[in-house]
Amino acid sequence: MLEIKGKVNTAICYAKVIEDDAIKQIRTMCDYGLTEGSKIRIMPDVHAGAGCTIGTTMIVTDKVCPNVVGVDIGCGMYTVQLKEKELDFKKIDEVCHYIPSGRDVWEENNSDFDLERLRCYKSLKNPDRLEKSMGTLGSGNHFIEIDQASNGTYYLIIHSGSRNLGKQVAEYYQQVAIELHMGKEEYAAKKAEIIKTYKSTGKSKEIQTALVELKKEYESKILDIPNSLCWLYGQAFKDYLHDIEICQEFARKSREKMAQIILERTGMTAEESFHTIHNYIDTEEMILRKGAIAAHKGEKVLIPVNMRDGSILAIGKGNDEWNQSAPHGAGRLMSRSKARETVDIEEYKKSMNGIYTTSVNECTLDEAPMAYKSLEDIIDVVSESVDIVEVMKPVFNFKAS
């Protein structure tokens, strides 16, 4: 256990090994008011991310920084237990290729999901395209996989998020947070007061000059908070929580739609299913989890390791000290750029022997098993938060390439 102290708060980190960049990122976050009054717990699979630290969990009170949740709001795993004991992997792979992945979306909108419920709806770009992204996989570390348990049971696993919708919502509200700290509300109030006062005192001709000076004053303001750590409060905070729930719902339904397509087109049958989400805010508990999952007492969870080693099926312990949370995966061993530079394609292909996949190529080098920490690394550190039921082995894997 490591204490990382900032000027405002202290984070407790459960990683055995943590990179310097991640420590710096966490300490910087704890230097600012967005962490005031929060309990911050960092999961063992921690690593530095783009603007926020993967593996962060924190209690949300009356403020939140959208950038800490990140752009892939609601991203997570959907695990479906299958009835069948024998599977046609070639047919499953054909269906996976049928589902749009990468940047592709469906040609038609086959969803009845109502994006107009979003309070930031009018600020969205290409809402029609966003609607067509429901039920699409995306790229990066998103995947469709089938793992097999020791008793022969197969599990369909889909890892995906809210696509470009989450990105747009996150970026919109982070800009709102920046404007709040820049004093935009105060600027609007002063602007209205100038117009009212000058009109009532017969100085209408001087209004424009006064407004230009006011704007200069506003635009010259220098924040003492990094843009990436500006937080929402007041009505903007409430609006964000409202919209993030909709994004999380979108991500859940998107995974379910992909599963439905796969089941219908292959004739497979689902017996039971559950979601394990890792980029979100639980608005009932008011816990933020970025690259971390809920692990309530008795809750079934799935923790993916890598393409070669499969996934951990586990039951949550409900550890309050850990913010009722657990790691969301093994964590990266090397950055995507480093993986592309150093991973040998032949070694990558060899590591995937015995697993049906058409996705092992130069385009997915950054997702190779050797780019991630090992199964042993994650098993050693999850015992405080979950009880492992078993480690399921992959038999099929698909990634956008």
Residue ranges of the binding site: 72, 141-145, 159, 304-307, 311, 328-331
State the Cα torsion 54-58-63-65 to the nearest 10°.
0
DSSP-derived letter for residue 104 is -
**Alpha helices, DSSP H only, in 150-233?**
163-182, 184-200, 207-219
Distance CA 252, CA 206 (A): 55
60-to-13, 230, 323 alpha-carbon distances in Å: 18, 15, 11
Instruction: Provide the token pair at 337.
Output: 């750029």
Classify burial at 315, counting beta carbons within 10 Å of its beta carbon; exposed 0-12, middle 13-18, buried 19 or more: middle
> Left (φ > 0), alpha (ψ -120 to 50) or beta: where does 333 sit?
alpha
**Residue 4 is which amino acid?**
I
Q: Which residues make Cβ contacts (< 8 Å) with residue 322, sequence separation at least 6?
A: 14, 41, 43, 57, 295, 384, 385
Length of the chain measured in residues:
401
Binding site for Mn(2+), by residue number, is: 72, 142, 159
Q: Which residues make Cβ contacts (< 8 Å) with residue 140, sequence separation at least 6?
A: 367
Contact criterion met (CB below 8 Å) for 255 and 158: yes
Binding site for GMP, by residue number, is: 141-145, 304-307, 311, 328-331
Half-sphere exposure of 340 (CA within 13 A, CB side): 7
Backbone φ and ψ for 207, nearest 5 degrees, come out as -60, -50
97 is catalytic: no
Q: What is the CA radius of gyration of the chain?
A: 23
Contact criterion met (CB below 8 Å) for 153 and 204: no
Q: Which candidate in 47, 181, 278, 328 is catalytic?
A: 328
Contact criterion met (CB below 8 Å) for 279 and 170: no
Q: Which helix (H) or strand (E) holds 90?
A: helix 89-98
User: Catalytic residues, which ones?
Assistant: 328
